[in-house]
Structure 1
Amino acid sequence: MSKGCTFYFVRHGETYLNLYRRMQGWSNIQLTEKGSEDVRRSGKGLANVKFDAVYSSDLSRTIETAGIILEENKDADDLIVHAMPEFREVFFGSFEAQGVDEVWASINEVMGYPTVGDLWSKATVPEQMNATKKADPYHHAENYLEFWTRIEKGLIELIKTHRDTGDTVLVVAHGNTIRYMLNGLVPELVAPQPLLNASVSKVSYYDGLYHLESYNQVDHFRDL
């Protein structure tokens, strides 16, 4: 077996749009006080993990989250955060910053399920994303192909840099980005649940395949 590499995918901390239950894709907004505290608790739990490289999306909430985690890490003095637009959240077009419940009701009108709950439980991720683009009055929201094409560019860059190095890599991104990405990469991850803020999902990559080690973990959090 090759050396491979290991990725720690971390979702950013809670933001004000999370708190207000509003759609948050490419919108830039800061972490709440609770969001910062949870990230620091997550960082303390990761303090002894020696990261060889750190990446984030280029949105402020992930860059802020990555910075807090590095502040708590015992071996991060020489590390810098590489911001990559490829790892942004899904773009929701004109639905950005609108109420979550209202937006999903609009998407469900396109899908035609009896309830939004049925939509979530029965429609695939590609179907949901394609319906979001159709429901957006401007049709600017990303569909699945647009999202995956963007994410794949970032993944190829990471694998090109870290494959067979044995490196441990921190990637701070977004709830849908990480969930949809891992759903597409890891065969055993079926219908993954939404990710908690500041949670960790650990994936190893070797012999050309991604292997899930943990998903949506918060039990490593430590008290401040």
Structure 2
Amino acid sequence: MSKGCTFYFVRHGQTYFNLYRRMQGWSDTQLTPEGREDVRRSGRGLADVKFDAVYTSDLNRTIETGGIILEENHAAEKLQMQAMPEFREVFFGSYEGLDIDEVWESINEVMGFPTVAELWAGSSIPEQMDATKKADPYHHAEDFLEFWLRLEKGLLKLIKTHRDTGDNVLVVAHGNTIRYMLNGLIPELENPQPLLNASVSKVSYYDGRYHLKSYNQIEHFKDLEKD
């Protein structure tokens, strides 16, 4: 078996649009104080991992999250974060900033399920993304192919750089980006649950395949030790 490499995919901390339950996508709202603290707790739990490279999307919420994790990892002066637009969140077009529940009701008008809960249970991620583009009055929302082609470019860059190095690679991205990506890469990961803020999903890549080690983990969160 080759040395491969290991990816630590971390979702950014809670933002104000997360708190207000708004469609976020490419909208760039700031982390809440609670979001920053959860990122620190996540970073403390990763403090013993020696990262060899760090990537984020080019949106501020992932860049700030990555910086906090590196501070807790005592690697802020050793590693240079690389921002990559390929790892942005899904773009929701004219739905950006709108109430999440209202948007999904609009999407379900296209999909035709009795309830939104049945939509989530009875349709695939590609089907949901394609319906979002169709439901968007401007049709600017990304469908699955548009999203995947963008994401794949970023993944190929990472694999080209880190394959067979044994590197630990931190990738700070977004809830849907990570979830949809892993759903496409890991055959056994069917209908993955939405990711928690600051959670870690660990994936090893070797012999040309992705192997899931953990998904949506927050058990590593570590509070600041008190004197």
Is this a same-fold pair by TM over 0.5? yes
Q: Is the 2:111–2:131 Cα contact (8 Å) retained in structure 1?
A: yes
1:82 corresponding residue in structure 2: 82
1:193 corresponding residue in structure 2: 193
1:67-115 deviations in Å (ceiling 9; x for gaps): 0000000344310110000000000000000000000000000000000
Q: Is the 2:67–2:76 Cα contact (8 Å) retained in structure 1?
A: no
Q: Is the 2:42–2:221 Cα contact (8 Å) retained in structure 1?
A: yes
TM-score between the two structures when normalised by the length of structure 1:
0.99
CA distance in 1: counterparts of 2:102 and 2:115, whole angstroms: 13
TM-score between the two structures when normalised by the length of structure 2:
0.98
2:54 corresponding residue in structure 1: 54
- Name the amino acid aligned to 1:217: Q
Unaligned runs of 5+ in 1: none
Is residue 2:168 matched to residue 1:172? Answer: no
Q: How many residues matched?
A: 224
Secondary structure of 2:37's aligned partner: helix
Unaligned runs of 5+ in 2: none
CA distance in 2: counterparts of 1:46 and 1:77, whole angstroms: 17
CA shift, 1:59, in A, is 0.2
The residue correspondences of 1:113-152 to structure 2 (distance < 5 A) are: 113-152=113-152
Q: Is the 1:5–1:166 Cα contact (8 Å) retained in structure 2?
A: yes
CA-based RMSD = 0.6
Q: Is the 1:48–1:74 Cα contact (8 Å) retained in structure 2?
A: no
Secondary structure of 2:55's aligned partner: strand
Is residue 2:106 matched to residue 1:106? Answer: yes
Secondary structure of 1:204's aligned partner: strand
Q: Is the 2:108–2:119 Cα contact (8 Å) retained in structure 1?
A: yes
Secondary structure of 1:121's aligned partner: helix
CA distance in 2: counterparts of 1:18 and 1:163, whole angstroms: 34
Secondary structure of 1:9's aligned partner: strand
User: Following superposition, which runs of at least 4 residues in structure 1 exceed 4 angstroms of deviation?
Assistant: none
1:115-137 deviations in Å (ceiling 9; x for gaps): 00000111100000000000000
Q: Is the 1:94–1:138 Cα contact (8 Å) retained in structure 2?
A: yes
CA distance in 1: counterparts of 2:45 and 2:209, whole angstroms: 27
Secondary structure of 1:216's aligned partner: strand
1:183 corresponding residue in structure 2: 183
